[in-house]
Amino acid sequence: MNVHGSMLEFVNNNEFYNALYPRMAAFLSTTMIDNRIELPGQAGSGSLQFLSLGPGIAASLTNIKLNEDVRFTNKKGNRLFYHLQFDETQVKKEFQVKIERDAVTFDEQFIASVLLTSSKSELSYVLPADTIKKTVGIMFTVDWLKDYLQTEKIETVIDSYLSLGLNHVNLEPFNYEYRRYFDEIFEVRQYDPLRELHQRNRVMILIELFFTHLFKRLKSGTLFFTNRMKREDLYKMMEVEALLVADLTKPPTISELSAITGISVSKLKSTFKTIYGMGLYEYFQKNRMQKARSLLLAENISVKEVGVKVGYTNLSNFSLAFKKEFGVLPSQI
């Protein structure tokens, strides 16, 4: 890891998180306490948390805002493992993601995406100062995945995925299921005695969801979303999705989303439905109700307070919307 001018550069030399984290702490001139690294003030704010998940698998939970430009590079090496990354990034300037020779440059954007890569390919990205980033990164070996999914076919599935996309940036959009468990990982209170148990559970669910979707797409012959549309359109829809659920008390209007993304209203509606399987408001409402359900299960607050937190001033309307989604009233949760 080095500093180039005003840019911080972190390099992972084909290491698992348990080996990388101590080096990151030393580079930042700080210490790792309870598997957490608090970002020092000159670099930014927030933290990185190492999460042990057992032999052959580890996770890194990142929730930071940068004060400096950062380049992160995952060097390729002889040790084979996979890196699954669920990421939400909000930037005010241009930023770049690169796998081998394939680079994607984003303008000022707010996107949520999923990316599977292999240690056999070099991954790097450059993030400008003021970037806000949440990431659930998961590293695992093939043996671990075979054992977890209880199938020998998984290596063939991943090989099919990576042989087509190994040297390309193939970002998969979030869906409401990913978003639910991703958000719950970061919402658990820091001093909750069951915090890590809760986080491990959600990480494992994200892994299962990813491979369930991957199997389905492989079977249908639509492995990559870019097989169905231009890469630029896909990334614009990722931005729309992130903006749509940024504030679950009130959705942005379709006209506002159209103006922000520069996409016509008709194309916005049809393309969003192609990717996410439902209309804009239906997607917003599903995320809104999932948030309400999580609040009811996790916090000792009233149904009325939960309704207010997700934008309802009328308790009856909230109860009806909740029952429509889950088949029960919020008071029955």
State pLDDT tens for residues 198-227: 999 999 999 999 988 888 877 776 666 666
DSSP string, 169-212: --PEEP-HHHHHHHHHHHHS-TT-TTHHHHHHHHHHHHHHHHHH
- H or E element at residue 217: helix 195-220
CATH number, position 318: 1.10.10.60
Q: What is the rounded average pLDDT for all residues in the chain?
A: 87
How far CA 10 is from CA of 7, 32, 75, 77, 196, in Å, comes to: 10, 16, 10, 16, 26
Both 219 and 241 in one domain: the answer is: no
The tens digit of pLDDT for each residue in 277-332 reads 899 999 999 999 999 998 998 777 899 999 999 999 999 999 999 999 999 999 99
Residues 222 and 170 grouped into a single domain = yes
Mean pLDDT in residue range 231-239: 86
Is residue 23 located within the same domain as residue 166?
A: yes
pTM: 0.87
Note the pLDDT tens digit of each residue in 127-155: 999 999 999 999 999 889 888 877 666 66
pLDDT for 104 beyond 70: yes
Please check whether residues 279 and 176 belong to one and the same domain: no
Number of domains in the chain: 2
Answer with the one of 212, 227, 242 that is the final residue of a domain.
227
Contact by Cβ (8 Å): 133, 66: yes
Single out the residue in 227, 258, 290 at which a domain terminates. Answer: 227
Q: Are residues 241 and 220 part of one domain?
A: no
Domain that holds residue 29: 2-227
Q: Check whether residue 136 and residue 216 sit in a common domain.
A: yes
Cα 92 to Cα 95: distance, rounded to the nearest angstrom = 9
Q: How far apart are CA 47 and CA 140, in angstroms?
A: 22
- Give yes or no: residues 216 and 242 share one domain: no
Q: Final residue of a domain: which of 185, 208, 227?
A: 227
Statement: residue 22 has pLDDT above 90: yes
